[in-house]
Chains A and B, each alone.
Chain A
């Protein structure tokens, strides 16, 4: 069974440029998460989708970040414009359903460097 797929694995951009990350969750998983992981820190939730609905986007900086999950399958996270402080690893995860004991399956992440 294929795991969570993310692309690209690495991205280097100049500040003020736009960037997009793509995630394909495990087949059949209804819940999709985007996390931000700074160096030496644990993942922090940016947004959670139930199918195509964003049910928790309270931590997403909406002035520059946007996300979509069309058709409730794969998802794209965009930053426009990027700032130096956005350099981090962006993780995508999925789970079969949302529950308090759900196991999340993580992709390998996209490492973003903003110069």
Chain B
């Protein structure tokens, strides 16, 4: 079946470091891809998305590019802040359900130290 695999955490970085969180997917067809973020005590919220190959999603300094050839959607940020500490979830819209079902990865916890 369709699935999402993301790098295990926790990831611990110092402030202003470069961030990469790897995400790869398995899907029949052409899913949309998402990154959601969950701050402590809050619900998940959409960070960025890409709906077709080679699209780049970006928001709040984060970006990710839909790479069909490598089935990847890695999340990057050039300079992280303490306030970026959260759990990040990679997700796809399941083509087998017409895209109506979202499949989430296990999440990657990020700690940023001052």
Contact = CB atoms under 8 A, between A and B. Distances in A.
Interface in B11-56: 31-32, 36, 41-46, 49, 51
A100 B98 contact: yes
Given A41-B107, A42-B106, A43-B104, A100 B93 contact: yes
A104 B102 contact: yes
B91 interface: yes
Given A48-B100, A56-B100, A101 B44 contact: no
Interface of A: 3-4, 40-45, 48, 55-56, 91, 93, 98-109
B78 interface: no
B11 to A, nearest CB: 14
Contacts of B51: 100-101
Given A107-B43, A108-B42, A109-B43, A101 B106 contact: no
Interface residues of B, number: 26
Interface string B41-74: 1111110010100000000000000000000000
Interface of B: 4, 31-32, 36, 41-46, 49, 51, 89, 91, 93, 95, 97-102, 104-107
Given A100-B32, A101-B49, A43 B100 contact: no
A101 B107 contact: no
Contacts of A91: 43-44
A105 B99 contact: no
Nearest to A59: B101
A45 B101 contact: yes
**Across chains A and B, which 7 residue pairs bring their CB atoms closest together, nearest first?**
A100-B99, A42-B104, A106-B43, A106-B44, A100-B93, A101-B32, A103-B46
